[in-house]
C-alpha cells in the first residue's frame, strides 16, 4: 500500500536530503505537513543527530513519525506515553535487527564521531551515501509496516 513512499524516501536521500528528512518528507503529508515543514522539523536529526553520529537519522525519522501517529498531547498521559514509547522501542529493535546497530557511527563503521575540525571522509557525503540510502529504505519499510498495523 505504501510502496511508493518507500521508493520516494530513497529517492529523496539520493537527491541529497539527510536521512531523517528523507523518511519524514516521504510521509509528512499524511500528518498535514507541507514539504517545507517536514524538511525543517527533521533537519537537525540527520547525520546521527546534528552530525554527531549518534542515533541514525533514518531511525530518528521513524521515531518522529511514531510521535505524530500515536503521541499524546495531554500532560501526564501515562497510557499515551506507554503506547508511543512501546512503538518506538519496537521500531528501534527491528531497525537494529535489520541493520546490526542503531547508532550512525556503528552503522558506518566509523571510529569516532566527526567534528567540525574532522569532517566525514568525503565532505560531499559520498563515503556513506549508498549505505545510508539503504537505511532510509529500511526505515520507510518499517514505518509502512507499523502504519499497516496501526491503521488496520
Q: d(Cα 95, Cα 140) in Å, to the nearest integer?
A: 10
Hey, is 100 helix, strand or coil?
Answer: coil
Average pLDDT of span 126-150: 86
What the block records as the C-alpha cell of 126 is 559520498
Q: pLDDT tens digit string along 76-88?
A: 999 999 999 999 9
Q: d(Cα 131, Cα 58) in Å, to the nearest integer?
A: 11
pLDDT over 80 at 128, yes or no: no
Please state the three-class secondary structure of 2-53 as a single string: CHHHHHHHHHHHHHCCCHHHHHHHHHHHHHCCCHHHHHHHHHHHCCCCCCCC
DSSP structural state of residue 118: B
Q: pLDDT tens digit string along 108-117?
A: 887 655 555 4
Looking up cell 514505518 gives 143
Write down the pTM of the prediction: 0.88
Looking up cell 536521500 gives 13
Average pLDDT of span 96-103: 95
Domain ranges of the chain: 3-150
Amino acid at each position: 500500500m505504501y510502496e511508493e513512499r518507500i521508493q520516494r524516501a530513497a529517492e529523496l536521500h539520493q537527491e541529497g536530503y539527510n536521512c531523517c528528512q528523507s523518511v519524514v518528507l516521504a510521509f509528512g503529508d499524511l500528518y498535514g505537513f507541507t514539504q517545507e515543514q517536514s524538511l525543517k522539523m527533521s533537519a537537525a536529526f540527520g547525520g546521527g543527530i546534528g552530525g554527531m553520529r549518534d542515533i541514525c537519522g533514518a531511525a530518528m525519522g521513524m521515531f518522529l513519525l511514531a510521535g505524530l501517529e500515536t503521541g499524546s498531547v495531554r500532560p501526564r498521559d501515562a497510557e499515551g506515553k506507554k503506547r508511543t514509547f512501546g512503538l518506538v522501542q519496537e521500531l528501534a529493535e527491528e531497525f537494529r535487527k535489520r541493520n546490526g546497530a542503531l547508532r550512525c557511527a556503528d552503522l558506518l563503521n566509523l571510529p569516532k564521531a566527526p567534528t567540525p575540525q574532522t569532517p566525514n571522509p568525503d565532505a560531499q557525503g559520498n563515503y556513506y551515501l549508498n549505505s545510508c540510502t539503504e537505511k532510509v529504505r529500511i526505515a520507510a519499510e518499517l514505518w509502512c509496516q507499523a502504519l499497516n498495523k496501526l491503521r488496520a
